[in-house]
Amino acid sequence: MILGIETSCDETAAAVITDDGHVLASVVSSQADLHSRYGGVVPEIASRRHLDLVAPVVREALDSAGASLDGVSKVAVTQGPGLVGALLVGVSAAKAIAWARQLPLVPVDHLEGHVASLYLEPDPLEPPFVCLLVSGGHTLLLAVRERGSSERLGTTLDDAAGEAFDKGARLLGLRYPGGAEIDRIAQDGDPSAFPFPVARVPGLDFSFSGLKTALLYAVRDLGVEETERRRADLAASYQAAIVRALARRIDEAASATGLDGVAVVGGVAANSNLRAALPDVRFAPLDLCTDNAAMIASAARYVEALPYPGYLGLDAYPSFS
């Protein structure tokens, strides 16, 4: 069995999976309510909360799997990218568990972890495929030709799509996390009510800052009362513009690479409008879209493990660059 630990942002997660990709337990403790009062994740608060939660979450995952550390063959942990203070909590916990049991440790790239969520049972996806990784911190187009590695085709030049959702929600007076709130409110709105722009940038990159500015101007011009009255239309139109940008780039990436398979992973993959717009695309399971440790343990199957005790100096990294 593989024990996975994930603490890259505001979810404290642990999971137990088998070497062939069966998820025995996946436990996620979200800090969304804790950070909602601030309108976004506060790194120092996230780190301190991870310290409180990491040991109980690991214990719960083992208990839910009906397992103990005696049955664990290796420990996997997110090394980056993410909030470095939050990452260090998970890395330190994983090193302590692995060292105490003289187990190998597998440092996992968070982004490859999202892709590896597609490799879990009961319906694993086989490469090659184009993958859109879209979350609060990242928007990437990847060519995946084999498990464990990917080629970056395009990225965002400014805000990630999930960040654009959160900032848009704040402009509309909605709670954090903004993506889920916009998705909910947009169900009652008209997506064609406001002609928000979709930026066209060279290659397969993305840009969402202009869209965010367009929403800002729309809210300013409407005023407080009219914005309140038309909030559902604003949310639906804003969401439609983001989804349009993502769907268009997916088609362009598939044509450019010649890869037939297409998949979407990451927190924004849970968006109902995006799923409806891409009915023929493979999406990560809903419970594996947001940050979780099952995907980290899954990715660890394709990464070389560090033998005991050579990982004691392992550090976290905040950026994929």
pLDDT tens digit sequence for 186-197 = 999 999 999 999
Q: What is the pLDDT of residue 101?
A: 97
The model's pLDDT over 44-77, given as tens digits with 9 standing for 90+, comes to: 999 999 999 999 999 999 999 999 999 999 999 9
Q: What is the pLDDT of residue 137?
A: 87
Q: What is the pLDDT of residue 136?
A: 86
Q: pLDDT averaged over the chain?
A: 96
* Tokens representing residue 132 in the block: 């859109």
Task: Give phi and psi for 92, each to the nearest 5.
Answer: -65, -40
pLDDT of residue 320 exceeding 80 = no
**How far is Cα 123 from Cα 262, in angstroms, rounded to an integer?**
15
The fold of 2-120+289-302 is Nucleotidyltransferase; domain 5 (3.30.420)
**Size (the chain), residues:** 321
Residue for token digits 């999930």? 162
Residue 321 pLDDT exceeds 80 = no
Task: CATH 3.30.420.40 in the chain: give the residue spans.
Answer: 2-120+289-302, 129-284
- pLDDT value of position 154: 96
In percent, the amount of the chain with pLDDT more than 90 equals 92
pLDDT at 86 over 60: yes
Strand partners, 3: 16, 75
Q: What is the pTM of this model?
A: 0.95
pLDDT of 38 reads 84
Q: At 131, list the tokens.
A: 């993958």
Whether omega before 122 lies within 30 degrees of 0, making that bond cis, reads yes
129-284: what CATH class? alpha beta
Residues 213-227 have pLDDT tens digits of: 999 999 999 999 999
What are the strands, taking DSSP E only, across 176-217?
none
Q: Give the residue carrying structure tokens 């911190």.
A: 137
* For the chain, percent of residues with pLDDT exceeding 70: 99
Average pLDDT over residues 279-298: 97
**Burial classification of residue 319, based on how many CB atoms lie within 10 Å of its CB (0-12 exposed, 13-18 middle, 19 or more buried):** exposed
Q: Is the peptide bond before 43 cis (omega within 30 degrees of 0)?
A: no
Reported confidence tier of residue 182, pLDDT bands at 50, 70, 90: very high
List pLDDT tens digits, range 149-170. 999 999 999 999 999 999 999 9
Quote the tokens at residue 236: 């639906």
Answer yes or no: is pLDDT of 27 > 70.
Answer: yes
